[in-house]
Chain A
Amino acid sequence: MKKIRKTAVYVFLLILAVVCLLPFLIMFNNATQSSADLTTRLTLRPGTELFHNYRNMVAQIPFWAYIKNSFLTTMPNVLLTGYFGTMAAYGFEKFDFRGKSILFAMSMLMMVIPAQISLIGLYRIFSIMKLLNTRWTLILPGICNVLTVYWMRGNIYQVVDTSLLEAATIDGCGQIGIFHRVVLPLCKTGIVTISIINFVAAWNDYINPVTFITTNKKTTLSVGIAMLNNFDYVDLGAVYVAITLSTIVILVFYLLFNSQIMGGVAEGSVKG
């Protein structure tokens, strides 16, 4: 009885694993087939046209420019979030001032209100600030990542000992110096974890870049990939290579940082 049950559990998990991976496996395989074969005969054997498809793809799609653009917006955004998010979390956690709980509650409220609802207003604000079509539209909102402040506040509560801060004060360290020399180093692991999660979110962002950036030169990866949906203009093999590469980029990132990603997701549920 126990054995049957164990087998059933395995079969269930394996079926789910196949469901998760099969679309990607077909995608990888199709990236190696010639475009003509893709529309006439299908085979499960890997093809030989990968490099041919790749050359077609880079001739028709500025794929590496998309990657570069995504990187140039994602990286500064994540750094901004890590720095100012930790700073705000520190201010909320270790200091007392009037109106603190109201300010914190108000910030948390903004976490519940979906950002997309204010999209038109934000578009007008960027227009007034003359920032439309610049990378700043995707970078600057990193200053106010509410989830990061919430998350880092918990982290600071756990790892930053108040007596240590007092000792540093007695040693004549200024408050800003304490933040940079004591708090930031102590929170390093936490900041790295939340930054990895923020990186994935910013990298995959679609609605903001598609709204605020309309010049082709600055198109990010997700928007560039989305533009492929008119298959008449690009050959199928090339499209398959483009989405395969887009998947591989995040797959490599996942394999490098999976413990932080899984840990961060799990921790989100504890606090939620």
Chain B
Amino acid sequence: MIRKKRNINYGLLFIAPFLIGLLVFRMIPFLYTLVMSFTNWNLMTGEKSFNGIDNYKRLLTDKTFMISLKNTVKLWAMNIFPRLAIAMLCAVIFTQSRIKGKGLFKLIFYFPNLVNSATIAILAALLMGWQNGYLNRLLLQMNLIRQPFNWLGQPVTAQRIVAAIIWWQWFGYSAIMFATGILNVSTEYLEAATVDGANSWQKFWKITFPLIRPTVAYVFLTTLIGGLQNFEIPRVITDGLGAPDKSLLTMTMQMHTLAFRSMQYGYGSAYAIGIFMTTAVFAGVSYRFINNKES
């Protein structure tokens, strides 16, 4: 550390642009959103005054909020467990088995994560579309179906498809994270266990998994926080409508629609704070759950 007195101010000087940016583009917008959430600001009606906790009362009785919350959690829950399981399996293979081409497989598994979500969503809409969708054309041509099936038009299949896309985009990322976590665990333990005659299954559950638990917890929490902000795929596929039957309407989508389509800054902000609280509660509960298990 440089501790000479004349240097003291330079440290602050170096972090100043970053801090000012953080203040202007992150902290003030957050506080501004919080303040707006206590107003009835609406560009359409021209209203703009404080209305206390009216927005929050409305939020708690808003059926759409409950629906969007349920959808968001459901889309996350549907993909998280298959994602963690497959990613863990890949990570164990990548770190512990002596097969060729591991690098290439890693490269391939991570690729879906790099293509922008808008492209993925459009491709999904083309492949799973109704009258001219690729899958329907294929099934018709093979005489497996007589009528084109509206995959994205039925709530159950639409939600499964979106959850599957998110799984597909993210399992490779989780696999790399887990693989790194395993590599950071000293291999001595594993070698000692092999000498003691432990099989792979025992080695994984008795040694590897407990040691990489922090990585698993980190991946779980970040996917939870990220998953609750789910926006791009359902938004692009449904053009922000969340059709069919609002089954693809996520919390952030509805907030975006409220604020930037119906111009309700006040209620939209309350909606945003609602998302924040929901995320905090979910993250807090899972954090405690993970911590309890660890101790």
- Cα–Cα distance between A12 and B109 once the two chains are bound (Å): 12
B286 CB to nearest A CB, Å: 13
17 A-B pairs besides A114-B228, A117-B30, A141-B25 with CB distance below 8 A are A9-B93, A9-B99, A41-B137, A92-B11, A97-B11, A112-B225, A117-B272, A121-B29, A143-B25, A144-B18, A144-B22, A162-B2, A204-B115, A231-B129, A254-B114, A262-B110, A269-B215
B168 at the interface (CB under 8 A from A): yes
Chain A interfacial residues counted at CB < 8 A: 95
Which of B27, B178, B180 is in CB contact (< 8 Å) with A110? B27
Task: Decide yes or no: A211 and B260 within 8 Å by CB, A95-B7, A265-B110 being known contacts.
Answer: yes
A215 at the interface (CB under 8 A from B): no
A123 at the interface (CB under 8 A from B): yes
Task: Decide yes or no: A114 and B222 within 8 Å by CB, A122-B29, A221-B116, A265-B176 being known contacts.
Answer: no
Asked if A97 and B8 make an inter-chain contact with CB atoms under 8 angstroms apart, the answer reads yes
A163 CB to nearest B CB, Å: 11
B156 at the interface (CB under 8 A from A): no
B interface: dominant SS = helix
Listed in ascending order, the chain A residues whose CB lies under 8 Å from chain B are: 6, 9-10, 12-13, 16-17, 19-21, 23, 26-27, 30, 38-39, 41-42, 84-85, 87-88, 90-92, 94-97, 100, 103, 107, 110, 112-125, 140-141, 143-144, 146, 149, 162, 165-166, 169, 175-176, 179, 200, 203-204, 206-207, 211, 221-223, 225-226, 228-231, 236, 239-240, 243, 246-247, 250-251, 253-254, 258, 261-262, 265-270, 272
Which of A85, A118, A229, A270 is in CB contact (< 8 Å) with B26? A118
Residue of B nearest to A248 (CB): B115
B155 at the interface (CB under 8 A from A): no
B45 at the interface (CB under 8 A from A): no
> Cβ of B25: which chain A residues have Cβ within 8 Å of it?
122, 125, 140-141, 143-144
> Cβ of A120: which chain B residues have Cβ within 8 Å of it?
29, 32-33, 36, 255, 259, 265, 268-269, 272
Asked if B22 and A110 make an inter-chain contact with CB atoms under 8 angstroms apart, the answer reads yes
Asked if A91 and B115 make an inter-chain contact with CB atoms under 8 angstroms apart, the answer reads no
- Cα–Cα distance between A206 and B228 once the two chains are bound (Å): 17
A-B contact pairs, 5 of them (CB 8 A): A16-B86, A20-B109, A42-B134, A94-B11, A95-B7
Asked if A116 and B229 make an inter-chain contact with CB atoms under 8 angstroms apart, the answer reads yes
Which of B8, B34, B123, B168 is in CB contact (< 8 Å) with A19? B168
